[in-house]
Amino acid sequence: MTVQERLVKILTEKKMKIASAESCTGGLISAMITDVSGASEVFECGVCSYSNEIKISVLGVRRETIEKYTEISSQTAEEMAGGVLKISGADIAVSTTGVAGPTGGTEENPVGTVFIGVASKNGVVSDKKNFNEDLCNDRDKIRRRCAEYCLEKVISFCDSE
């Protein structure tokens, strides 16, 4: 059973709905969930918020957050997750913002760095992870690793709800 099949099964059993706000994964999390038969019972929406203006105008990320911490930060990931949770009415939300590469990395946030947010009515948490462990700088591998990790993180979060 794939991670997305497990997630849909768990969400179905718990009668929970999920939404996503994706930047660096570009809709991959949404696609993975909706690849599963029965996903319509648990998937509310996915917002592909690649630009800062969409993060601000659609998801409600505060401009001050991006100016102070940048779009690649735990603060932005948390506000993205909270924003999509609010606009969707879902029970749980996941967000991603980071550097998929192969360009764009910095010393502070090298290629593969992603901030993940998970929000529910009980609050929001974030995580920073680098998905370029083999230094491949392979955009597709980084995005896939991140999306799978996010689905696992949501499964763990659901277990604690």
Confidence check: pLDDT of 153 > 70: yes
Share of the chain above pLDDT 90, in %: 94
**DSSP secondary structure string, 45-93?**
EEEE--SHHHHHHTT---HHHHHHH-SSSHHHHHHHHHHHHHHH--SEE
- Are the CB atoms for 58 and 49 separated by under 8 Å? yes
The predicted structure's pLDDT at residue 158:
87
The predicted structure's pLDDT at residue 7:
98
Share of the chain above pLDDT 70, in %: 99
Q: Which DSSP state fits 24?
A: T
- Are the CB atoms for 94 and 11 separated by under 8 Å? no
**CA–CA distances in Å: residue 20 to residues 54, 66, 110:** 14, 19, 24
Domain 3-160: top CATH class: alpha beta
Q: With cut-offs at 50, 70 and 90, classify the pLDDT of residue 135.
A: confident
Token look-up 């992870």 returns 129
Angle, alpha carbons 151-156-158 (nearest 5°): 90
Q: With cut-offs at 50, 70 and 90, classify the pLDDT of residue 161.
A: low
Q: What is the mean pLDDT of residues 145-156?
A: 96
Confidence check: pLDDT of 107 > 80: yes
pLDDT mean across residues, the chain = 96
**Model confidence pTM above 0.85:** yes
Mean pLDDT check: name the lowest of 91-95, 133-137, 157-161. Answer: 157-161
Q: What is the mean pLDDT of residues 74-80?
A: 98
Q: Which DSSP state fits 107?
A: S
Confidence check: pLDDT of 160 > 80: no
Domain positions in the chain are 3-160
Confidence check: pLDDT of 155 > 90: yes
